[in-house]
């Protein structure tokens, strides 16, 4: 297959699709059943959620809506970190696989490519869309599949010339795969960014320390609690690094949803495409793996 | 099994459950894909729908919300009767089965009971919840199942003593089963009520004439286009009959949702229980068949 870059047209730059409302409704229908809420509280939560959807009639940001819904759920459930246990479990799961995954990388002919592929497989660990994922099946698939878009050679070259590399983290568990990839990148000045506070199973500073990310990279917070990177809400410290970085590696669909079309920086998006909305926006298929250089 | 009457407590009299919002969202997510709407129109429809849900924070009427959503869909799609073809198909389907069903009733030991059971089986023909239903499987099941609540002996007795019987129709296709039941009831003064205008696949005056309902009963309109019987919106003509009737037979979940707890009249509800919300309200299980005398 020809290696192509995804050209994002201006019209496609902001992804705000009506199908996202229905997807959120399905996800939160499930989530409110897991929390200790009365039927009355669930009704009010649902009503508040639908109020948010109603107000978002014009263009909306998927991760901003997601953030507001999760803030709402935290308020209703009086639980500031509903995924705390799930996050620890997925970090422990992948830490347990670390030696085996490390061996796969070291024994491969192209350590950069193998580690990059595994990092994308780790992106399957996502509680934002569903509760179930087949990690081993995804690892097997990612190691043998042709990517729908593959700018990884260009990414490798760009990293080799970069003074500063910024790596935007995504989820817990997945971040252990990121760590393996960062070890394979072996860049002297790589900075790993996490969310500013707990949201879904996204990686925070505590999680980064728990998996030892601080041993292989400088770790910073982006200063905001959306399941994404939303530049207008990020901290000055984060933006200083973002602006300084020569190469930005953006992991996962959440970061893509926040950043696509929002910056002229050299952002490489590494992700599994998890829904039809993003598949349509990128011109690929749901389930595809992609590494592509985003353009404003 | 002991034959019991469902006692509806005052608290349970108004069924307005948060789960209905999610069920509506699922149904209309599917419906807007079937209409020739642009993504922009679908987004606005979704936003309007969620606005309705948001406003319904306090107690709401399930069939009133359903009506408003279907009015909205008709406006967006410029289609006053989206189910016209489906309604004709299901009427034709059951008209084709009429001789066979008639023979089953005539050959049975208890024609009233067999026809009543078949009338409840016909209740499976409902486009409000899903597109797929197993009619033959439901017929087989209804003829051999024990009903979760069975006040049919009392209903038979009440009919034998009634001067006027009002039969509240439900859906197309199903109404051919109703016709067979009405033929078995053989009451000299039975009035069959239909919806005042098309909504989902509910039976209207045109449909009643199409299946020849006017040959076995007087047919009247209830004067309103909710997929239910909502007394405060029904026509004076309908209310005169409703008030005069000695026995009222209410077919299906939609009529139940509108009438439960709203009248002191002798209403017998005949239905398949199609969702958890109604199952919980009646203290039975989803999929159960029930014939019960409703109490205010």
Shortest CA distance to B28 belongs to which of B168, B128, B165? B128
Q: Where are the alpha helices (DSSP H) in B186-235?
A: 205-210
Neighboring chain A residues of B25 at a CB cutoff of 8 Å: 22, 25
Distance of residue A21 Cα from the nearest chain B Cα, in angstroms: 8
Residues with Cβ within 8 Å of residue A11, at least 6 apart in sequence = none
The one-character DSSP state at A202 is B
Residues A118-123, mean pLDDT to the nearest whole number:
93
Quick one: pLDDT at residue A264? 87
**pTM to 2 decimal places:** 0.85
Shortest CA distance to B68 belongs to which of B195, B260, B200? B200
- Hey, are the CB atoms on A54 and B43 less than 8 Å from each other? no
Residues A95-102, mean pLDDT to the nearest whole number:
96
3-state helix, strand, coil in chain A (%, to 5): 55, 10, 35
Inside any domain, residue B95 = yes
For residues B112 and B72, state if they share a domain: no
For residues B45 and B155, state if they share a domain: no
Q: What is the pLDDT along chain B (296 residues), one digit of tens a residue?
A: 333 344 444 444 568 889 999 999 999 999 999 888 999 999 999 999 999 999 886 678 899 999 999 999 999 999 989 899 999 999 999 999 999 999 999 999 999 999 999 999 998 887 665 556 788 888 888 888 899 999 999 999 999 999 999 999 999 999 999 999 999 999 999 999 999 999 999 999 999 999 999 999 999 999 999 999 999 999 999 999 999 999 999 999 999 999 998 888 989 999 999 999 999 999 999 999 999 998 64
Quick one: pLDDT at residue B10? 46
**Region of poorest pLDDT, from A66-70, A271-275, B131-135:** B131-135
Inside any domain, residue A9 = no
- Hey, are the CB atoms on B57 and A43 less than 8 Å from each other? yes
Residue A233's pLDDT band (cuts 50, 70, 90): very high
Shortest CA distance to B101 belongs to which of B178, B168, B34, B169? B178
- For residue B60 the two structure tokens come to 């709401």
Q: What angle do CA B67, B68, B72 make, to 5 degrees?
A: 115
SS3 B173: coil
**Region of poorest pLDDT, from A13-22, A83-92, B20-29:** A13-22
For residues A53 and A93, state if they share a domain: no
Distance of residue B26 Cα from the nearest chain A Cα, in angstroms: 7
Residues A243-250, mean pLDDT to the nearest whole number:
97
Neighboring chain B residues of A51 at a CB cutoff of 8 Å: 50-51, 54
Inside any domain, residue A8 = no
Quick one: pLDDT at residue A129? 58
Looking at the predicted structure, is the pLDDT value of residue A8 above 70?
no
Quick one: pLDDT at residue A261? 87
Q: What's the first-to-final CA gap in chain A, in angstroms? A: 25
- Closest partner CB to B46 (pick from A21, A42, A48): A21
Q: How far apart are CA A238 and CA A236, in angstroms?
A: 5
Q: Percent of chain A at pLDDT above 90? A: 77
- Domain limits at B22? 18-77
State the total domains in chain A. Answer: 2
Interface pTM, i.e. ipTM = 0.81
Inside any domain, residue B2 = no
Quick one: pLDDT at residue A85? 93
Quick one: pLDDT at residue B8? 42
For residues A57 and A116, state if they share a domain: no
Of B45, B60, B77, which residue is a domain's last? Answer: B77
Task: Show which residues on chain A lie within 8 Å of chain B, measured between beta carbons.
Answer: 16-19, 21-22, 25-26, 29, 39, 42-48, 50-51, 53-54, 56-57
For residues A130 and A246, state if they share a domain: yes
Inside any domain, residue B1 = no
Indicate the pairing of strand B267-272 with strand B289-294: antiparallel
Whichever domain contains B217, its CATH number is 3.40.50.10880
How buried is residue B38: exposed, middle or buried, by Cβ count under 10 Å (0-12/13-18/19+)? Answer: exposed
- Hey, are the CB atoms on A53 and B47 less than 8 Å from each other? yes
Quick one: pLDDT at residue A295? 64
Inside any domain, residue B5 = no
Residues with Cβ within 8 Å of residue A105, at least 6 apart in sequence = A111, A114, A115, A118, A180, A184
Please, what sign has the CA dihedral across residues B101, B178, B164, B221?
negative
- Closest partner CB to B18 (pick from A19, A43, A57): A43
Quick one: pLDDT at residue A128? 62
Of B59, B77, B95, which residue is a domain's last? Answer: B77
Residue listed under structure tokens 């003064």:
B189
Nearest residue of chain A to residue B27 (CA atoms):
A22
What φ, ψ does residue B259 adopt, rounded to 5°? -100, -25
Shortest CA distance to B65 belongs to which of B199, B171, B193? B199
> Please, are residues B84 and B106 in contact by the beta-carbon 8 Å criterion?
no
Task: Show which residues on chain B lie within 8 Å of chain A, measured between beta carbons.
Answer: 16-18, 21-22, 25-26, 29, 39, 42-48, 50-51, 53-54, 56-57
């Amino acid at each position: 297959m020809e290696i192509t870059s995804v050209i994002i047209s201006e019209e496609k730059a902001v992804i705000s699709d009506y199908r996202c409302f229905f997807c959120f409704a399905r996800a939160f229908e499930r989530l409110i059943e897991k929390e200790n809420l009365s039927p009355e509280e669930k009704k009010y939560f649902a009503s508040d959620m639908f109020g948010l959807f109603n107000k978002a009639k014009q263009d909306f940001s998927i991760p901003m809506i997601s953030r507001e819904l999760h803030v709402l759920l935290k308020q209703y459930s009086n639980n500031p970190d509903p995924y705390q246990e799930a996050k620890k479990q997925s970090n422990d799961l992948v830490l347990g696989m670390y030696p085996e995954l490390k061996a796969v990388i070291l024994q491969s002919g192209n350590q950069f490519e193998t580690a990059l592929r595994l990092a994308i497989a780790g992106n399957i660990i996502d509680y934002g869309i569903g509760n179930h994922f087949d990690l081993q099946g995804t690892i097997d698939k990612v190691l043998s599949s042709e990517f729908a878009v593959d700018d990884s050679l260009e990414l490798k070259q760009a990293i080799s010339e970069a003074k500063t590399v910024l790596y935007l983290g995504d989820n817990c568990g997945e971040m252990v795969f990121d760590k393996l990839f960062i070890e394979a990148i072996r860049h002297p000045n790589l900075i790993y960014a996490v969310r500013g506070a707990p949201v879904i199973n996204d990686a925070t500073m505590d999680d980064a320390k728990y998996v030892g990310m601080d041993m292989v990279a400088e770790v910073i917070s982006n200063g905001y609690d959306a399941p994404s990177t939303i530049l207008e809400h990020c901290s000055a410290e984060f933006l200083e690094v973002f602006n300084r970085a020569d190469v930005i590696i953006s992991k996962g669909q959440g970061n893509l949803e926040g950043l696509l079309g929002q910056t002229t920086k050299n952002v490489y998006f590494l992700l599994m495409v998890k829904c039809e909305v993003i598949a349509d926006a990128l011109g690929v298929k749901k389930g595809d793996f992609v590494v592509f250089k985003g353009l404003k």
